[in-house]
Structure 1
Amino acid sequence: MRLLVLGGTAMLGRAVAAEAVARGHDVTCLARGVSGDAPDGVRWVRGDRDLADGLAAVTGPEDQWDAVVDVSRQPGQVRRAMAALEPLARHLVFVSTGNVYAVHAGLATDESVPLLPPLEGEVMEDMSTYGEAKVACEAAVLEAFGTDRALIARAGLIGGPGDASGRSGWWPWRFAHPAGGPDGPVLVPDDPELPMSIIDVRDLAAWLVRCTEARTAGVFDAVGQPDTLGGLISAAREVAGHDGPVVAASPAWLLEQGVQEWMGEDSLPLWIADPEWRGFGAHTGAAARAAGLTTRPVTETFRDAAAYEEAREATDPRRCGLTDDTERRLLDLLGS
């Protein structure tokens, strides 16, 4: 199979390209290279999709593709790609996101949840319109390739090695390095039943490549096995071998202390306090599993994400989680 990956140097695109090469396919990656190099075994074409002719090197008369994988979040990039590639490609796989949904309060939901309105412009200026931008990208894909030649994978939280956001690596890292020293207390949100799941980047990549091979079409929530925040935190603690105390604090108290939700500076990753977003991690992924998606145990994802965190610590500052000083201060306030 001749596969074109639009990207291929960042976390998911790179994993897709590497998986396709491992399965014996002829893989070309078009990317600027800002996020790194493409994996071994691929043909790497440098290109800037913000330019009108950014795809010229892969859309010539001799270029025919069995499948294309696109991970862009910019509507203008996707619209230009669809116009140029529709005559040249048999199948299109677009990686979207669960952020496209307009409602995130429901539990055990699927692909039938209403979507946000599409972004009207060509460029997503910041992450506040991420969902709307991806809706516009989805529409461009379906308009060009139709429902029988396109697969849209609405990914949930992607974790594992290469997770630069730190969301999947922080909890096993923290349990391995408590702020108070070995086997010291670790602060967690007192919200163990919050629905949450993680899909390993390698499992998602493998499924996407299998879908290109089979030309699977449709719209799917590509998410990990349904779980809870408490279940994920317990799995992270198991991976780290932590035997110290676990100190639970109420969501209201954490917010009062300035602790951030989900990710970012001084946050407790994976935790969502906003009731309107409580169901973000509650999509079942049943349709994708029926279409062949398989996932590894989350302990394996955490183990490899933690190894990635350890390896990058010296040169790449951690981008989420509580600092040691902040966590010690909060634990002192709780009397722990």
Structure 2
Amino acid sequence: MDPKAIPEVVLNSGHKMPILGFGTGTVPLPPAHELIPAFIEAIKSGYRHFDTAAYYGSEEPLGQAIAHALEQGLIKSRSEIFVTTKLWCTDAHPGLVLPAIKSSLERLGLEYVDLYLIHFPVRLRQGVPKGTKYGKDDILPLDIKGTWEEMEQCSKLGLAKSIGLSNFGLKKISELLQNATIPPALVQVEMNAAWQQENLREFCKEKGIKVSAWSPLGANGAVWGSLAVMDSPILKDIASSNGKSVAQVALRWIIEQGATPIVKSFNSVRMKENLKLFDWELSEGDLDKAKEIPQYRGFKGERFVSEFGPYKTLEDLWE
């Protein structure tokens, strides 16, 4: 598919972003010798927006895939690829943000990222292993004002073209906006037809903040998530009437809400199928039916909740 066929949105930073992203994080993460060809295949298929994170472990293979794509002439310059990466919770504190983005850039082999996000509204003690059950001394208070000031420094220094948030709710975004000199360009959250995030989307629209959707297909087959999207009778009915797959309908629904889906598949056939979203639309009737889908959050985030930490309940975490 011609990459130019994928529409772009303009972020409040003034930079353009393709509205379909390719996710690079999965559990368990395949080895680099499998990831690099998969990412190159995604570039060949037409993807130009790639989403990674320090936590995922996929920054280095993604960077190598971009370098190979340049060598092979699949892309003419680095500027053709939009790269998002994220600040992990152990580095979400003043004094740690700049070293963290520089480490990410070193792994990626890039001079800048297009978008840098705070991964969660959580600070963890440095040295805490990934994927562990956090103890009473592991979850620390988050200095969001000081941390965001350093995110702004990442932007001012040209290390990140745009900056934003991931997994932040309305109250936390509002709190951040009270002190921000540079507003978040984007907030990335779990969003799909079975977790529609209507209030957050309306709030972000009012504030000029774009919304990006991770788990757009419900994290089917992952260690968390559900089949609420892919097994939805409503989505299956809409797909059948449109001659599309359930995945295509689910992704098209997100785009029609004004959000950017981050889709993840290392299967070349599904990669190409997931790109076929831009020459058709859902009807008003389809969109009305989608509102009837039961709502279910796939990622609960229990690991960040502790009687000893700042979030005593899941409601405190997600609002």
- TM, length-normalised to structure 1: 0.31
- TM, length-normalised to structure 2: 0.32
